[in-house]
Structure 1
Amino acid sequence: MASRLVIHDDSAFPAPNEVYNWKIYILAICASMGSAMFGYDSGFIGGAITLPSFVSRFGLGTSSSEQSAALSANIISTFQAGCFFGAIFMSFLAEKYGRKFPLIACGVVFNVGTIVQVASTGSLGMIYAGRALTGLGVGAATLVVPQYISECSPPAIRGRLVGIFETSVQFSQIIGFWINYGVNENISSTSDTQWRIPFALQLAPGTLLIVLMLLQPESPRWLIKTGDTDKAIRVLGQIRCLTQDDGYIAWEVGAIKQQLHDESELGATRPLGAKLKEILQRGNRIRLILGMSIMMLQNLSGINALNYYSPKIFKSIGFSGTSVGLLATGVFGIVKAMTTLIFMCFGIDTLGRRKPLLIGSIGAIIAMFYLGAYSKVSGSFQHTVVQDGGAYVAIVMIYIFAVFYALSWNGIPWVFCAEIFPTGIRSLCLLFTTCTQWLGQFIIVYSTPYMMTNITYGTFFFFGSFLVVGALVIFFFMPETKGLSLEEMSVLFNVKGLAITQRKKADEIIASQRVAENVADLKDETEYSNVEGV
């Protein structure tokens, strides 16, 4: 009952208490092993390639600063390139084969890539090949996981459940950060075991995804879309803890069928060209542009620079030494993960999407501009600085950035994109937004080493400026989506005007539609009663 108090169900057919059960949370956790693959990679790789054993084995110690930047960029960004193409391949597989078994395939591909990396005995080519394969698996998984969770979720806790995707990323990042610290402290720097352990532990989330998804059902929305309504009803009854003939199950099935029918009339079931034509319709076009913009702006906030290159960034503000950098990075991961967990559990379905993004942007902007100003004034990129008050404030600002980023740009873009698109074109739209995410990551992780070498403190000002742009985009163009069913998003995004008034107008339209539906239902019941009386 206590958990029920924090759930605000404003959908057309408020769900019974049984719907908010442990099964739907377990489903989200199992699927989120796909995002754990991504989180562990982003947590471990930046530190792993600075481990003395890795530097020695792959001959990175004799490189100039420019060559070192190039090698770091190549090793890390190869993964993002794989992710980009993995998302493209998965878009077709998910439409034909559903969500469950393609996710299992993602785990298999990821594990193969891990084995290739661990088997390397000094060949950077094997590292590149293995990272490309793990990227294929992760890119494909990040396309499907939010979609799968969203399609299985009740509207009132959809944000919380899709948020498990991002929470899993954060906690697996922590593991990656601290594994590097542990092997650096406890395993000899002359042993290949030091770098192989962090690389080999990628097998853990990949294997968990394979095993756990075998125990989960297919997406009920995809089943209805492919004509298997009976199985969809069984799945919904199972994950909602309701009988198959319950009225809420009938309402969900009816709502999905109605939207699919409406989209079919508009050409959503036609070939790719027809779907692209539907995407160009005003309401859908706006959604896609906004989704892609938010995904790109998420990367331009600077978070992936901190995730992948945090040891170097801590060094740039005066804290040197492999252990010191890895320790500070591990604490950064804990701060970000705990804030994400708290927000996704208690904030996103209460505060919504829009308000946290605006608040988080302001805090992150202050932190990023301080880091730029401190680096310029202290000259920390040119020489080792005294660890004075300004340096310690800079460290605090990194953690402040982590907190404000975690309650805003960290998970909300994924939640927002997973919930706003119509069922008939959701996979295609998510392909565009997910590819934008990975393209943005590729650009940032490839360019950050060069930016830190050549424009130094300007790197922080660059990211801070794009946070300002992101805040403006959210304020003027992103409406609140909290509490709306997936089928009601079309009403919201067909309302004209700026974001600040869109939701209010949409709520009025939805309320009038519900009144009309209730009147129609009452009329039907009255006519039926009259016939029965006759």
Structure 2
Amino acid sequence: MGLRSLKPQRLQETPHQVLNRRLFWSAAVFGMTFPAYLVGTNFLTSKTGFLGASRGLDEGLVGGMVSLQSFKDEFHLEDGSQNHQASILSNITSMVQLGSIVGALLAFLICDKLGRVQTLRILSFLWLVGFIIVVASQGSLGQVLAGRFIAGLGIGMTTVVGPMYIAEIAPKSVRGMLTNIFAGSVYLGATIAFFSNWRASVNLSDESGWQWRAPQFAHIGFATYHMIKGRYEDAKTALANLRMLDSSHSYVEDEISGISYQLESEQEATHGVSRWGKIRELLLVPANRYRLMLGFMSQVLGQWSGANSITIYATEFFGVLGKSGQSEKLFASCILGVVKLVSAYICAFFLIDFVGRRRSLYMGISLQTLSLTYIAIFLGLTGSEALKSGQLNTSQRRGAVGSIAMIYLSGIGWTMGWNSFQYLVNADIWQLRLRALGSSLVMCLHFLNQFGNTKAVPDMLLVLQSYGFFAFSAAVSFAGLIWVWFFVPELRGRSLESTDELFALPWYQIGRYGPELVPAESAIGDHPGGKVETGIGTHSV
């Protein structure tokens, strides 16, 4: 079949049937019966159940685990100097991120070689085995580290496979919403983790190893669920079922034609191109370098803005701000998980596809910057000695309560801004043939930064103290505002096929003027003279 016969007309407006219970239920449980990509005439489909929760589970569980007295006693975390304790703590908390760096890169190789379903099964197996090793450890710190690294391999793959699925099945009008459902499931996992740790601290003895082991079974349950799902279906039938339209409906025909056209045109343009050829294309084509820059910088600025560190070390930060007692600190962490979970889903359903990616980033980063700045000023003025002793005057006590509220507000800002964008950027910008590679590289940097950040925070708290850490995070957040203003284009409502024109503009026009110069209505088939830009050349159709 030639390109001309596949060339679609301009896609019609989204029929109301498309925004149906199957689509939203699939995304909500992530969950999806997702046609992932065309191979010949077939879509790959998979059921994956709360895939995004893996990261949140670990971020929430590990912070509580290392704070529980039973874990400290079994692994002697309170032995040695403060620097030694900080080093051991950072090794434990960051080991999943270290494994995730490798896992995110492996996702590209495995997805292209074996497909999405096999990648899902492999990542689920690694995730499951890793935490079985952790739970089975008997005072062996090396076994805990090894298990967390192995689990990290699987968790790293989830952040590539998950948003990739959404990008490939979502109607453009709600692509941001569905991608943010994945991002929100991170905090579903975190909330489950926070409550698991809290109840374990209340109901299980400090002398029992089950106090820290019991919450870890949340990982094992989720990973086991993923391993038993997965099947293939015919492309048009799967898409028609998901859209709740007849397979002959023009909207389904247009979607199939659009994806088929893009795939065939890209296959024709890249026939015989190796993986190394894709890497060269990614690095040498200016439009692709800009895409890569968007992905990379969103990870650097987002991860060092402090939000994930606050999630992982929440119990310690709440202790600094006046919460006393292990149960009280863990319960405050539970509230943080609920706040992030609720705000993430509010952003998904009522914000990102209505006010746009760029405006949502502005609002979220601004709220996060102001919140972090308040906390830094309060901690700096109050002083660590007064906070440790608990001898605070009335105004200082009110300031402490305000700082706790600001931690919750910073979480809302994070879900509105960086947390949404760090996944959405991969869903919005990549061409089909570069999606696995580009997403993998961006998520490698995501976990590299998260590893560095998680590893550095205990030492930062020793050297900079708490106020210095929050001041640093506020400065990074403010730098992020400037970067967004100059470089981030608005991609709301734009089809994946239409982004090539936008990124073909000069680099200094893309962020600030791109959407005006290249309206979102541009799509495959609308190019003057019947030509389409594939990223490595212009081809007649």
Q: Specify the alignment match of 1:492 in structure 2.
A: 502
Q: What does residue range 475-514 of structure 1 map to in structure 2 within 5 Å?
A: 475-496=485-506, 497-507=509-519, 510=522, 514=526
Q: Which amino acid aligns with 2:477?
A: L
Following TM superposition, by how much is the alpha carbon of 1:32 offset from its aligned partner in structure 2, in angstroms?
5.4
Asked if the contact 1:159–1:415 (Cα under 8 Å) also holds between the matched residues in 2, the reply is: yes
Match of 1:415 among 424, 427, 433: 424
1:383 and 2:382 correspond? no
- Residue 239 of structure 1: CA displacement? 1.7
1:257 maps to amino acid? S
Corresponding residue number in structure 1 for 2:112? 95
Which of 430, 435, 449 is the matching residue for 2:439? Answer: 430
| Conserved 8 A contact 1:109-1:137 | yes
Q: CA deviation at 1:483?
A: 0.6
Cα distance, 1:56 vs structure 2? 0.9
CA deviation after TM superposition for structure 1 residue 17, in Å:
2.3
Matches within 5 A, 1:16-165: 16-28=15-27, 29=29, 30=31, 31=48, 33-165=50-182
CA deviation digits over 1:57-112, x for unaligned, max 9? Answer: 11113333222211110001111011010111121111122212311221121111
1:401 to 404, 410, 414: 410
User: For the residues of structure 2 that align with 1:178 and 1:69, how far apart are their CA atoms?
Assistant: 25
* Counterpart amino acid of residue 504 in structure 1: E
Could you tell me whether the CA contact under 8 Å between 1:288 and 1:429 is conserved in 2?
yes
CA contact (8 A) 1:53 1:189 kept: yes
Shift of 1:498: 4.6
The whole-number CA distance in structure 1 between the counterparts of 2:25 and 2:271 is 32
Taking the aligned partners of 1:418 and 1:486, their CA distance within structure 2 comes to 8
The offset of 1:183, in angstroms, is: 0.8
CA distance in 2, matches of 1:155, 1:330: 34
Structure 1 residues 82, 463: CA separation in 2 closer, same or farther (over 3 Å shift)? Answer: same
Contact between 2:58 and 2:193, CA under 8 Å: does it hold in 1?
yes
Taking the aligned partners of 1:210 and 1:25, their CA distance within structure 2 comes to: 22
8 Å contact 2:68–2:212 — kept in the other structure? yes
Q: How does 1:36-435 map to 2 (within 5 A)?
A: 36-211=53-228, 213-214=229-230, 217=232, 231-267=234-270, 270-279=273-282, 280-380=284-384, 383-385=388-390, 386=392, 388-435=397-444
SS in 2 for 1:33: coil
Between the two proteins, the alignment pairs up a number of residues equal to 494
Q: Is the 8 A contact 1:120 1:126 kept in 2?
A: yes
- Cα 1:242–1:54 change in 2 (3 A) is same
Paired residues for 1:465-484 under 5 Å: 465-484=475-494
In 2, the alpha carbon distance for the partners of 1:415 and 1:298 equals: 13
Change (3 A) 1:508 1:81: closer
Q: Structure 1 residues 269, 405: CA separation in 2 closer, same or farther (over 3 Å shift)?
A: farther
Counterpart amino acid of residue 21 in structure 2: W
Q: Aligned pair in 2 of structure 1 residues 464, 91: CA closer, same or farther (>3 Å)? A: same
Q: Is the 8 A contact 1:268 1:274 kept in 2?
A: no
| 1:269 CA displacement | 5.7
**Range 319-328 or range 359-368, more displaced:** 319-328
Identity, in percent, stands at 31
Cα drift, residue 307 of structure 1: 0.9
TM-score between both structures, scaled by the size of structure 2: 0.87
Deviation (angstroms), 1:266: 4.1
Distance in 1, matches of 2:485 and 2:254, equals 34
How far off its partner does 1:320 sit? 3.2
Q: Distance in 1 between matches of 2:354 and 2:510?
A: 22
Distance 1:269 1:135 in 2: 33
CA distance in 1, matches of 2:374, 2:418: 19
Report the CA distance shift for 1:145/1:415 in structure 2 as closer, same or farther (over 3 A).
same
Residues in 2 aligned to 1:480 and 1:374: alpha-carbon distance in whole angstroms:
36
Cα contact 1:75–1:128 (8 A) shared by 2? yes
Structure 1 position 138, deviation (Å): 0.4
Q: Deviations over 1:252-273 (max 9, x none)?
A: 1221222223333543761022
SS, match of residue 419 in structure 2: coil
Unaligned segments of structure 1, at least 5 residues: 1-10, 219-230, 519-534
Q: How far did residue 340 of structure 1 move?
A: 0.6
Is the CA contact 1:372–1:458 (under 8 Å) kept in the aligned structure 2? yes
Residues 495-523 of structure 1 show CA distances to partners (whole Å, capped at 9, x for unaligned) of 331522211111077289749799xxxxx
| Cα separation, 2, equivalents of 1:513 and 1:97 | 32
How far off is 1:315 after superposition? 1.9
User: Distance in 1 between the 2:352 and 2:58 partners?
Assistant: 26
Separation in structure 2 between the aligned mates of residue 82 and residue 257 of structure 1, nearest angstrom:
35
* Alignment-mate amino acid for residue 23 of structure 2: I
1:115 and 1:264 map into 2 onto residues whose CA distance is: 42
CA 1:77 to 1:515, structure 2 compared with 1: closer, same or farther past 3 Å?
Answer: closer
- Residue pair 2:498, 2:520 contacting (<8 A) in 1 also: no
CA distance in 1, matches of 2:522, 2:343: 34
Return the letter of the residue paired with 1:374: F
- Say whether the 8 Å CA contact 1:301–1:466 is kept in structure 2: yes
Please say if residues 32 and 145 of structure 1, whose CA atoms lie closer than 8 Å, have aligned partners that are also in contact.
Answer: no
Q: CA deviation at 1:48?
A: 1.0
CA distance in 2, matches of 1:268, 1:373: 58
What is the RMSD computed on CA atoms of the aligned residues? Answer: 2.1
CA distance 1:177–1:291, shift in 2 (3 Å): same
Tell me how far 1:243 sits from its aligned partner: 2.8
Deviation at 1:241? 2.1
8 Å Cα contact 2:11-2:251 kept in structure 1: no
Per the normalisation by structure 1, the TM-score is 0.88
Structure 2 CA distance for partners of 1:217 and 1:412, relative to 1, 3 Å: farther
1: CA distance, partners of 2:521 / 2:312: 46
Q: Distance in 1 between matches of 2:462 and 2:520?
A: 54
Check whether the contact 1:34–1:103 (CA below 8 A) recurs between aligned residues: no
Name the stretch that deviates more: 312-321 or 171-180: 312-321
Question: What secondary structure sits across from 1:34 in the alignment?
Answer: coil
Residue 164 of structure 2 aligns to a residue whose secondary structure is helix
Which range is displaced more, 160-169 or 441-450? Answer: 160-169
**Following TM superposition, by how much is the alpha carbon of 1:332 offset from its aligned partner in structure 2, in angstroms?**
1.1
Contact 1:39 1:168 in 2 (8 A): yes
CA 1:509–1:182 in 2, change beyond 3 Å: closer, same or farther? closer
Rounded to whole Å, the distance in 2 between the matches of 1:509 and 1:57 is 61
